[in-house]
Structure 1
Amino acid sequence: MNKYAWRTDNWWVSPFNSREEYRNSWKLPKSIKIHDATLRDGEQTPGVVLKKEEKVRIAEKLSEAGIHRIEAGMPAVSEEDRKAIAEIIKLNLPSTIFGFVRAKEEDIIMAKECGVDGVIIEVPIGKPKLDYQFNWSVDRVVESSVFAIKKAKELGLYTVYFPYDTTRADEDDITKLLSQIKENSLPDSVGVVDTMGCALPGATQYLIKLIKSIMNIPLEIHTHNDFGLALANSITAVMSGAEVVHGCVNGIGERTGNCSTEEVAVALQILMGIDIGVDISKLQELSDLVRETTGFEIVKNKPIVGQEIFTRESGIGADALFKMPLSMFALNPEFLNKKAKLVLGKKSGMMSINVKLQEYKIELDEEQKKKLLLDVKQKGVEKKGNLTEDEFLTLVKKYKQ
Structure 2
Amino acid sequence: MLLSDVTLREGDQMPDRDYSVKQKVDAGCALDDLGLPYIQTGFPITGEKDYEATRRLSGAVSAETIGLARALTGDVDAAIEAEADIVEVILPLSDRHLEHTLSATREEAFGMANEAISHAIDRGATVHVTLIDAFRTNPAGIVDFFERFPEPKFINLADTVGARVPKFVQELLASLDGSVDFDRVGVHFHDDLGLGTANTLIAYEAGVAKADVSVASIGERAGNTALEELVVSGTIEHDEKFGVEVDRLVPVCRRVLDDLKESVDPRKPVLGEAVVTHESGLHTAAMLNDPSVFEPYDPARFGGERHLVFGQGTGQASARILLRRAGVEPTDEHIEELLSLLDREGPVELGGAVALAGDLQ
TM-score, structure 2 length as denominator?
0.87
**CA, structure 1 residues 241+337, in 2 after alignment: closer, same or farther (shift >3 Å)?**
closer
Q: Which has the higher helix share?
A: 2
CA distance in 1, matches of 2:235, 2:157: 22
The one of 309, 314, 317 equivalent to 1:351 is 317
The range that moved more, 217-226 or 135-144, is 135-144
Distance of 1:151 and 1:205 partners within structure 2: 34
Q: Choose from 195, 202, 225 the match for 1:236.
A: 202
Q: Which sections of structure 1, spanning at least 5 residues, go unmatched?
A: 1-31, 381-385
For structure 2, the residue ranges without an aligned partner over 5 or more in a row are: none
* Alignment-mate amino acid for residue 200 of structure 2: S
Matched, 1:38 2:7: yes
* Matched length: 355
Secondary structure of the 1:309 match is helix
5 Å-filtered alignment, 1:164-203, equals 164-169=132-137, 171=138, 174-176=139-141, 178-179=143-144, 182-183=147-148, 186-203=151-168
Report how far residue 293 of structure 1 moved: 2.6
Matches within 5 A, 1:20-169: 32-91=1-60, 93-169=61-137
Structure 1 pair 98/180, CA: closer, same or farther in 2 (3 Å)?
closer
2:218 to 231, 237, 252: 252
Equivalent of residue 288 in structure 1, options 242, 247, 254:
254
CA RMSD of aligned residues (A): 2.9
Query: In 2 relative to 1, CA 374–138 (structure 1 residues): closer, same or farther, beyond 3 Å?
Result: farther
Match of 1:328 among 294, 299, 304: 294
Output one character per residue of 1:282-312: Cα deviation in whole Å (capped at 9) or x when no partner.
2222222222232221011322222232211
Summarize deviations over 1:56-87 as a string: whole Å, max 9, x none.
11121111111111112210121121111111
CA deviation after TM superposition for structure 1 residue 356, in Å = 5.0
What is the DSSP-based 3-state SS (H/G/I as helix, E as strand, rest coil) of the residue aligned with 2:89?
strand
- Name the CA shift for 1:40/1:180 in 2 (closer, same or farther; >3 Å): closer
Which residue of the partner structure matches residue 18 of structure 1? none
Amino acid at match of 1:328: F
Q: Cα deviations across residues 223-263 of structure 1 (Å, max 9, x unaligned)?
A: 11111100000010111121001111111001111111122
SS, match of residue 45 in structure 2: coil
- Asked if 1 retains the 8 angstrom alpha-carbon contact of 2:251 and 2:303, the reply is no
Match of 2:233, SS? Answer: helix
- Aligned position for 1:25: none
Flag the structure with more relative contact order, 1 or 2, with Cα contacts below 8 A and sequence separation at least 6.
Answer: 1
The offset of 1:94, in angstroms, is: 2.2
Q: Percent identity?
A: 24
- Structure 1 letter corresponding to 2:281: G
> For residue 187 of structure 2, what is the aligned residue in structure 1?
221
